[in-house]
């Protein structure tokens, strides 16, 4: 009897230990997996959204700048011009609303010399400031409350600073008073003597630097070699850089900017990169002139402390969540272990007594779970095998009934979800039919032009729209637009644009007036959306084409002899922040010339290697097939996009829209019609 009891205790302890250890291992795995998964996913999403937001800032500024005007901002006097003030106010507005942005400025690009010069600088000096720049490292300083403040990166230092450098031991800056003046020592070499604090006036190697003498180039000894430094002076409440001033940076940074210009693609660093002013994550967006040539670039220098802070905070949160999860699950494991072993002990005792011949043994276990049912079965077995058999049957029936009930609920829930899914598909299909009804049913048979178009939305519905209208025997109106975003919201805005455009066509409004009417009709309805558009009016008698571009991609003109080029015009995208500003341009078309309007779904189509089709490749396709009929040319372009992206099912990352028009003189059309009739 004693021996049996000891054996049971050993079995119980072993089983309890195994259950607890098993649950603890599972708890650790679940806690770590939950913390790591949450951390990895949220950090990735945060960085992705952070980079996309900062790049959109640079793009917004570049879209707002006229490249032809920007070229002329090349002297200190340019600061007083209305154009500079306009661009500067836009940059300052964005600068003040973005805490993590350190610098926003634009550069003019001189293609012949491959040099860069400052254009518009969003930094406004709070005090008179001296900038010390070299291709290796740069910093600036100013005097406030009789204290010298030195800025490098996102930090401001008082009097003394020790900065580690990439190719040098370190940069040690300190200030001291010599005689009546304060001097700044760079690695114990005097570089600046401040002889007047306000307005600031300094001496550098016996030359004055102040508001009348704004730039000095000096050779200064630094770690056993001479380095050329440029010292520049900017006044209080004025931009940090003068228009036309040289852009001095690390060679790696200059090469990166040139690469961005050569690839004609906006870019943002994936992480903080060391430039001459410190570690920054920089966003770059190209500025183009009216000919589509790159004339400059917008640069936004961003501190990645927000990413670091988010990682730090969420690391703590993930650890706390993991610890709480582990504690709770461990506590539950102990309860579950006791839940399993306590009833087992009662049952084992009863079996031991029954094995000794005690037929009066009963298990007093009132729980309603499996252990309770097992105890009832055991008691019934002792009293009567028949009753035990019936109890077993009842248990099986009960389990079957519960299973059937559960299956029924699963089927009902599945049917409900399927019905909701079908209803949603019907709504999207209805929206798709409505949007397709807005597209032209077919191309008209015109006496002076041939038209063909292609439309393929990314989703069931999209934000692209095209339209044309043959107002009378002389005028053919053409229209294409791209609403930001996809799906039903973008399609809704496109529907509103369609109604407005039809009204403008019927009233024979000019292209610029049509753009204005579209903006007026969408006022207060666009929220964070914006749209780009091109409106054309072709005189079928003379071949005169007048058009206005509201921030859309340039149209393509291909002559009958195969010469092709992009035609750009100044115009701002339609949005809630600014009123439209378009310039109406004019082109003279000859017999056989073609005009191609398209959306960025074509030029931004990506290959499996993540390369974009691009404007140059599109122009090459058009020129190679310029002799084709418009219908054939449209098919070729669409097929080339499919081939480039290796997209077999026709589902693209963006809406695909294309509108091709060929101008034909009346005699040419009659000859073509006569030949086709014969």
- CATH code assigned at 603: 3.60.40.10
**Average pLDDT of span 342-366:** 69
Q: Is residue 166 part of a domain?
A: yes
pTM above 0.85, yes or no: no
Q: Which range has the worst mean pLDDT, 81-85, 292-296, 354-358, 474-478?
A: 354-358
E strands, 540-645, in order: 544-550, 555-558, 564-567, 585-588, 594-598
Q: How many structural domains compose the chain?
A: 3
- Kindly list the distances between the CA atom of residue 101 and the CA atoms of 50, 106, 247, 296, in Å, as whole numbers in the listed order: 12, 14, 19, 20
For residues 400 and 497, membership in a common domain is answered with no
- Report the mean per-residue pLDDT for the chain: 83
Q: pLDDT per residue over 471-500, tens digit each?
A: 667 889 999 999 987 777 788 888 899 999
For residues 217 and 245, membership in a common domain is answered with yes
pLDDT for 430: 64
For residues 237 and 268, membership in a common domain is answered with yes
For residues 283 and 407, membership in a common domain is answered with no
For residues 410 and 528, membership in a common domain is answered with no
pLDDT for 34: 73
Q: pLDDT per residue over 540-598, tens digit each?
A: 999 999 999 999 999 999 999 999 999 988 899 999 888 888 999 999 999 999 999 99
Q: Is residue 13 part of a domain?
A: no
Distance (Å, whole) CA 132 – CA 533? 45
Domain residues for the domain of 417 are 385-426
pLDDT at 339 over 90: no
pLDDT band at 1 (very low <50, low <70, confident <90, very high): very low
Instruction: Dig out the tokens for 516 from the structure.
Output: 């204005």
pLDDT at 344 over 70: no
Q: Is residue 597 part of a domain?
A: yes
Contacts of 179 (CB under 8 A, 6+ apart): none
Q: Is residue 67 part of a domain?
A: yes
Q: Is residue 37 part of a domain?
A: no
For residues 584 and 549, membership in a common domain is answered with yes
For residues 573 and 609, membership in a common domain is answered with yes
For residues 300 and 391, membership in a common domain is answered with no
Structure-token match 């490098």, residue found: 152
Is 529:491 a contact under the CB 8 Å cutoff?
no
Distance (Å, whole) CA 374 – CA 380? 10
Helical H segments across 567-606, by residue range: 600-603
For residues 278 and 391, membership in a common domain is answered with no
Q: Is residue 175 part of a domain?
A: yes
For residues 392 and 481, membership in a common domain is answered with no
Judged by DSSP in three states, 60 sits in: helix
For residues 94 and 181, membership in a common domain is answered with yes
Is 501:537 a contact under the CB 8 Å cutoff?
no
């Amino acid at each position: 009897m004693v021996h049996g009891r000891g054996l049971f205790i050993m079995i119980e302890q072993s089983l309890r230990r195994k259950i607890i250890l098993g649950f603890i291992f599972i708890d650790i795995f679940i806690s770590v997996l939950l913390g790591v998964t949450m951390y990895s996913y949220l950090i990735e999403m945060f960085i992705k959204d952070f980079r996309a937001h900062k790049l959109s800032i640079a793009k917004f500024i570049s879209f707002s700048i006229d490249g032809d005007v920007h070229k002329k901002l090349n002297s200190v006097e340019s600061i007083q011009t209305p154009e500079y003030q306009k661009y500067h106010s836009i940059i300052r507005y964005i600068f003040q609303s973005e805490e993590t942005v350190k610098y926003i400025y634009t550069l003019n690009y001189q293609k012949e010399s491959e040099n860069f010069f400052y254009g518009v600088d969003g930094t406004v000096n709070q005090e008179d400031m001296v900038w010390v720049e070299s291709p290796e490292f740069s910093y600036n300083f100013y005097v406030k409350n009789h204290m010298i403040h030195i800025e490098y990166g996102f930090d401001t230092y008082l009097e003394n600073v020790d900065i580690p450098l990439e190719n040098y031991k370190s940069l040690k800056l300190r200030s001291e008073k010599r005689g009546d003046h304060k001097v700044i020592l760079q690695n114990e070499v005097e570089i600046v003597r401040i002889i007047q604090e306000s307005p600031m006036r300094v001496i550098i190697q016996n030359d004055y630097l102040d508001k009348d003498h704004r730039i000095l180039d000096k050779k200064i000894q630094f770690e056993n070699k001479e380095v050329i430094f440029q010292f520049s002076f900017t006044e209080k409440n004025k931009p940090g850089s003068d228009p036309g001033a040289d852009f001095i940076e690390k060679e790696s940074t200059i090469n990166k900017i040139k690469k961005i210009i050569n690839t004609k693609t906006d870019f943002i660093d994936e992480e903080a990169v060391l430039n001459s002013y410190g570690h920054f994550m920089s966003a770059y967006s190209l500025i183009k002139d009216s000919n589509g040539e790159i004339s400059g670039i917008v640069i936004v220098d961003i501190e990645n402390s927000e990413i670091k802070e988010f990682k730090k905070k969420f690391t703590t949160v993930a650890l706390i969540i993991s610890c709480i999860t582990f504690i709770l699950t461990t506590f539950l494991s102990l309860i579950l272990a006791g839940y399993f072993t306590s009833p087992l002990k009662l049952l084992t005792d009863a079996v031991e007594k029954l094995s000794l011949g005690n037929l009066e043994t009963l298990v007093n276990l009132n729980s309603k779970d499996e252990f309770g049912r097992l105890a009832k079965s055991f008691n019934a077995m002792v009293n009567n095998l028949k009753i035990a058999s019936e109890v077993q049957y009842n248990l099986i029936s009960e389990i079957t009934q519960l299973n059937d009930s559960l299956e029924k609920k699963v089927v009902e829930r599945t049917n409900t979800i399927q019905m909701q899914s079908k209803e949603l598909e019907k709504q999207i299909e209805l929206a798709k039919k409505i949007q397709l009804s807005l597209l032209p049913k077919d191309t008209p048979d015109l006496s002076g032009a041939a038209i063909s178009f292609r439309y393929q939305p990314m989703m069931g519905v999209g934000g692209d729209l095209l339209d044309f209208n043959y107002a009378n025997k002389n005028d053919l109106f053409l229209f294409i637009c791209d609403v930001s975003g996809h799906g039903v919201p973008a399609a809704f805005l496109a529907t509103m644009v369609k109604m407005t455009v039809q009204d403008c066509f019927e009233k024979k409004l000019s292209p610029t007036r049509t753009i204005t009417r579209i903006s007026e009709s969408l006022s207060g309805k666009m929220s964070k959306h914006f749209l780009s558009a091109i409106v054309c009016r072709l005189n079928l008698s003379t071949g005169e084409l007048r058009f206005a571009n509201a921030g859309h991609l340039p149209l393509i003109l291909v002559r009958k002899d195969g010469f092709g080029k992009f035609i750009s015009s100044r115009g701002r995208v339609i949005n809630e922040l600014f009123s439209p500003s378009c310039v109406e341009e004019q082109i003279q078309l000859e017999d056989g010339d073609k005009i191609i309007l398209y959306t960025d779904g074509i030029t931004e189509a990506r290959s499996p290697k993540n390369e974009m089709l691009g404007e140059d490749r599109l122009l090459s396709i058009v020129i190679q097939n310029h002799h084709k009929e418009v219908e054939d040319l449209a098919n070729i372009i669409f097929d080339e996009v499919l081939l480039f992206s290796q997209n077999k099912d026709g589902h693209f990352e963006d809406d695909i829209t294309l509108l091709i028009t060929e101008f034909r003189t009346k005699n040419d059309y009659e000859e073509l019609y006569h030949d086709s009739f014969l």
